[in-house]
A and B are shown apart, each in its own frame.
Chain A
Amino acid sequence: MKRDRREHLRHNPFGTAASGGAVVLGGLGAILGDDVSQGMTLSLHASATVVAHLWGLMLATGGILKLYGLYWGRSTMEIPGLWMMSGAYFFYSLTVAAGLGMGGLAAAILSAALGVGCLIKVKIIMRHARIAGRQHDAHDAHAEDE
């Protein structure tokens, strides 16, 4: 089983890093609120604290679901995790860009790229799932014929 995990890491270094980063940043956001991001404080004004807590929770949950799904082979957990991660990354990207303008460009571009990566991964997994579902249906039909 341990060897299996190492194989997963070998095949998904970026997925692992993106979700590990999401867990760390999301956890900090959930605990500290808008202290983790000046961009959020500036762009969200009065609601910044509450929204940052929720955002941190969403990002951390997404990261945990993605990691669990990836390393324990549960794509029913991985897909929701990836959706939540991409949403949280896009949210961070846009709020930081809105709050800091050009000063938040680096963070905005990096997190937007991570969000796009999550969406692409969702697309890839869903395509595999559709193929698997179709094969299963064909298999069932074949079994009924016999």
Chain B
Amino acid sequence: MNWGEVAVSIAQVAAGGTIVQAVISLTRRRSELRQLDRGTDSVAVETADRIVSMLRAELEIAKSENATLKAELADHQRQILALVERVSELRADLAMAKAEIQRLQDDG
């Protein structure tokens, strides 16, 4: 028996052994492997869930910020309108005062 035949015998034993191992892993380790798959699936689902809820929370925060800013904007616009009104009132008063001064100067 030369070394080539020995190598071929070893190869045949190795191939046969791995087929036996494949069958053993299916029959004896099945429940553990199933558990691993289920764990991987549930981890993926949990991660996706967590990301979705995180994004939702961020969306809520952004929405409330937006509402606050809108309210502030409306408030500022109201203030501007009030100031414009006040300016025009003061202008009218000023014109009246000028007219009065003119009248008094003419009289004098």
Contact = CB atoms under 8 A, between A and B. Distances in A.
> A and B, one complex?
yes
Contacts of B39: 132, 135-136
SS class, residues of chain B in contact with chain A: helix
Nearest to A128: B36
B32 A133 contact: yes
Interface string A59-86: 0000000000000011110011101101
A22 interface: no
A117 interface: no
Contact of A133 (B5, B10, B14, B31): B31
A84 B18 contact: yes
Interface string A119-146: 0001001101110110110000000000
B95 interface: no
Contact of B34 (A76, A83, A94): A76
Contact of B7 (A84, A97, A132): A97
A122 B17 CA distance: 14
Contacts of A80: 22-23, 25-26
A130 B29 CA distance: 9
B25 to A, nearest CB: 4
Interface size class of A (residues with CB under 8 A): 20 to 34
SS class, residues of chain A in contact with chain B: helix
Given A87-B14, A91-B11, A126 B29 contact: yes
B19 A132 contact: no
B77 interface: no
B14 A83 contact: no
A79 B4 contact: no
A86 B51 CA distance: 39
Given A80-B26, A122-B25, A136-B35, 9 more contacts: A44-B8, A87-B15, A88-B18, A90-B14, A91-B11, A91-B12, A125-B36, A132-B39, A133-B36
Interface of B: 3-5, 7-8, 10-12, 14-19, 21-23, 25-26, 29-37, 39-41
Interface of A: 43-44, 55, 58, 73-76, 79-81, 83-84, 86-88, 90-91, 93-95, 97-99, 122, 125-126, 128-130, 132-133, 135-136
